[in-house]
Amino acid sequence: MKIAVTYDNGNVFQHFGKTEYFKLYEVEDNKVVSSEVMSSNGTGHGALAGLLAERSVEVLICGGLGGGAQAALGEAGIEVCSGAKGDTDQAVEAYLKGELVSTGVNCDHHHEEGHSCGNHEDGHSCGGNCGGGCGSKQPELTGRNVGKICRTHYKGTFNDGTQFDSSYDRGEPLEFTCGAGQMIRGFDAAVADMEIGQIVDVHLMPEEAYGMPNPNAIFTVEIAELAGSEDLEPGQQVYLTNQMGQPFPVKVTAKDETTITFDANHEMAGKELNFRIELVEVK
């Protein structure tokens, strides 16, 4: 088996689409037998999956990645373990021990502003950032704004008209680099060829937003093995921490006298979303 890790000076690089290097590990009998550092040769989001597939990579360990990247990697048959931090060798060791928990799509919120997270101990609720399963492979974005810093106002609603977010309400446009994997795929695609001052309405299917729920992201643990879980109730959204010390958001879905079940899928996984987007500025 061959494992690739986004690499920067010994540590896991935190943006898959912008990584300049990968560290490749050859694994036999669940042990690393060799490793090498490989340049990405400036390859962008759309082609990195193909680059790894050409090197027969079966598992990618990375920091952040967007839904489009996860879809492309899934199409290439590459398992993704995202949300990793720290030393790459330790991350691989944790993966081989079954201790590295993926946080899924964690770099493609429709926005990042106003997002405050609590922790498991205080039970503070938080909108998660863990994606669901992989969708179909998406072509690389093209358009006049791809690669440029864009500032947009937007309003997001569900199909019943309920508003879930609005930059207008916050009084500050959202700023992001179009096509860099910082946004959900459908939002990025809508902005890619807009003109300044233009307003568009888009309807996004789950595959263009937060993906479909991943059944593997639902897990049950013994209450006795998770300190503080006895105080949690179904419906709460909290953060857990994996063996690498990385926090990941989950929702409590069930609880009995001895076990508690968590769902690490993004809260909007499986949902169709509507956005009204106004392009304010392009830098």
Per-residue tokens: 10: 């010994």
> Residues 16, 154, 239, 275: which is the catalytic one?
154
Quickly count helices (H) and strands (E) in the chain.
Answer: 5, 15
219 is catalytic: yes
Judge contact between 105 and 66, C-beta under 8 A: yes
State the first-to-last Cα distance of the chain, in angstroms, to the nearest integer: 43
> Residues 78, 184, 260, 277: which is the catalytic one?
184
21 is catalytic: no
Please tell me the distance from the alpha carbon of residue 263 to that of residue 253, in angstroms, as a whole number: 7
Please tell me the distance from the alpha carbon of residue 2 to that of residue 52, in angstroms, as a whole number: 10
Please tell me the distance from the alpha carbon of residue 74 to that of residue 68, in angstroms, as a whole number: 10
Neighbours of 282 (CB within 10 A): 16
> Residues 199, 201, 219, 231: which is the catalytic one?
219
Please tell me the distance from the alpha carbon of residue 193 to that of residue 195, in angstroms, as a whole number: 7
164 is catalytic: yes
165 is catalytic: yes
> Residues 21, 164, 218, 223: which is the catalytic one?
164
Please tell me the distance from the alpha carbon of residue 76 to that of residue 88, in angstroms, as a whole number: 23
> Residues 108, 165, 188, 263: which is the catalytic one?
165
- Catalytic residues, which ones? 154, 164-165, 184, 210, 219
